[in-house]
A and B are shown apart, each in its own frame.
Chain A
Amino acid sequence: MSSLHTKTIPASDMPDRPAFNWLDDTGEDADLTVMTRDVTKIYQMGEEKIHALGGVNIKIATGEYISIMGPSGSGKTTLFNVIGGLTKPTSGNVFIDEIDVAQLDANELAWLRCRKIGYIFQSYNIVKVLTALENVTLPMLFAGVPPDEAQDRAVYILGRVGLGDRVLHTPKELSGGQQQRVAIARAFANKPSIILADEPTANLDLKTGEEIIELMREMNQEEGVTVVCSTHDHKMLNISDRIAWMQDGLLKKIAKRDEVDIEISQLAEK
């Protein structure tokens, strides 16, 4: 395995809190896994400019499970992709474990995606030509884990997500829910800092979807990995630590679950 090296770069100055419209109350000294600062993303469609993100400031504490809600087109996927280093923001900064993503070269970005981030997509995105085991092993091999060790962990983790007897199956021999379990196992394989799950249950039936969300919550607690999950389903909110609402490319509101519970019960009283 290659050894860590230290990169010393002038970090962009940390923002003064009052200068930004933080909706968070993550606490002054909480360990942050993600911080975005005035992140915007503009898509140029010919003449037209689409403001997919209009300045998002969010702080996500280490180990929390945060759900992101918002109507279609509100910018959830765009925010995930920007946080996950899958696309560059038009302006603003993204920090993952205090690393300014914009300062990384292509190789370091690959390292970030490999070691720090686990992705779960709506459409599973399992590599079709590989078995479940190979899919889970691959990110570990990219990370430089010895093949035997990688395989052992892959087998363990596939067992953990309930696919112990499906290890050598290829995606086309697996149901949607099972494929999503492979994706979860794969995302957790390198013990990342954060899991980004963009509507992981949208293609699944209600019961399977709930199982998937529960599994992610359990893994979040067992492995201490921060989870950010977008969903349209209000039922999925119960297990979140915090819930954020997006609208028109902006973060409209962010609240702890119990605060949300209170609001809902107040609404019910009226």
Chain B
Amino acid sequence: MAHKEWHIDRLKMKPGLVWQMAVNSLKVRISRTTLTLLTIATSSAFLIYLLTLPRSDDLADQQTWYLMLGLSVLVSAAGVLNTMLMSVSQRYREIGTMKCLGALDKFVLFTVMVESAILGFVGAVIGVIVGLTISILLGLLEYGFSLFQYLQFDWILLKILAAFALGIFLTTFGSSIPAVIASRMPPMDAMRGEK
């Protein structure tokens, strides 16, 4: 069998370009970005508010608290996952086009993931600030300056971390599945199907 030599190059992914594209995409779609941030911020604000709410000894109150915690995580998960899923699947055409221009699968994937992680992070920052503020203000109204005796500010760093983890996990997880699918799709199929 004949052997043939071809000169072929391997493309390298440039992290700087990934970051640039991700930030640009967030900036240009500013209204969508704002909306997504709002969803994430609300979720983490509510979470941090619940986590710092004064502890009640009443059993029924505690049950209500757990119920609210569970429900709020569930509702935010559904909201954020849906938003991320939509935002990626509306971009199949763009992804297909980029692949025609020579974008590597992992470039597409990383761009979407970095974008989501930024959203999750910024959303959580806003959410944590807003949540803590509300918690403290309501505490002040209720208990005056002795509020920290009542609010659950023990383990506060861990609680803030939990809010961040929730935000970033939900955004990256929500976009990862459609992003993996879209990045592996042959460009033609991606450009056809705005799934």
Q: Which A residues are within 8 Å of any B CB, using their own CB?
A: 2-11, 13-14, 81, 84, 86-88, 98-99, 104, 106-108, 110-115, 119, 121, 125-130, 138-139, 141-144, 186, 190
Contact = CB atoms under 8 A, between A and B. Distances in A.
Contact of B188 (A7, A87, A190): A87
Nearest to B10: A107
B5 interface: yes
B3 A86 contact: no
Contacts of B105: 106, 110
A4 B101 contact: no
B10 A108 contact: yes
Interface of B: 1-12, 14, 17, 24-25, 28-29, 93-94, 96-105, 107, 186-189, 191
B10 A2 contact: yes
Given A9-B4, A129-B94, 11 more contacts: A2-B12, A4-B7, A5-B8, A11-B4, A14-B2, A86-B188, A87-B188, A106-B105, A139-B102, A141-B14, A144-B12
Nearest to B107: A142
A31 to B, nearest CB: 15
A99 B29 contact: no
A111 B103 CA distance: 9
Contacts of A126: 97
A171 to B, nearest CB: 11
Nearest to A86: B188
Given A86-B186, A141-B14, A130 B24 contact: yes
A110 B188 contact: no
A177 B88 CA distance: 28
A99 B189 CA distance: 23
Contact of B3 (A2, A11, A190): A11
B97 A127 contact: yes
Contact of B11 (A14, A111, A186): A111
B9 A2 contact: yes
Contacts of B96: 125
B186 A108 contact: no
Contacts of B12: 2, 144
A62 to B, nearest CB: 16
Given A114-B11, A125-B93, A130-B24, A142 B5 contact: no
A88 B99 CA distance: 15
B102 A8 contact: no
A238 B14 CA distance: 43
Given A6-B7, A130-B24, A142-B102, A11 B94 contact: no
B17 A110 contact: no
A179 to B, nearest CB: 12
A121 B17 CA distance: 25
A7 B5 contact: yes
Contacts of A88: 186
A129 B25 contact: yes
Contacts of B4: 8-11, 98
Most A C-beta atoms less than 10 A away, residue of B2, B7, B8, B105: B8
Contacts of B7: 4-7
B95 to A, nearest CB: 10
Given A2-B10, A2-B11, A4-B7, A127 B102 contact: no
A99 B8 CA distance: 9
A59 to B, nearest CB: 17
Contacts of A129: 24-25, 28-29, 94
Q: Which 4 A-B pairs have the closest CB atoms?
A: A114-B102, A11-B4, A142-B102, A86-B188
A187 to B, nearest CB: 9
B56 to A, nearest CB: 49
Contacts of B11: 2, 107, 110-111, 114, 142-144
Contacts of B97: 125-127
Contacts of B189: 87
Contact of B5 (A8, A138, A144): A8
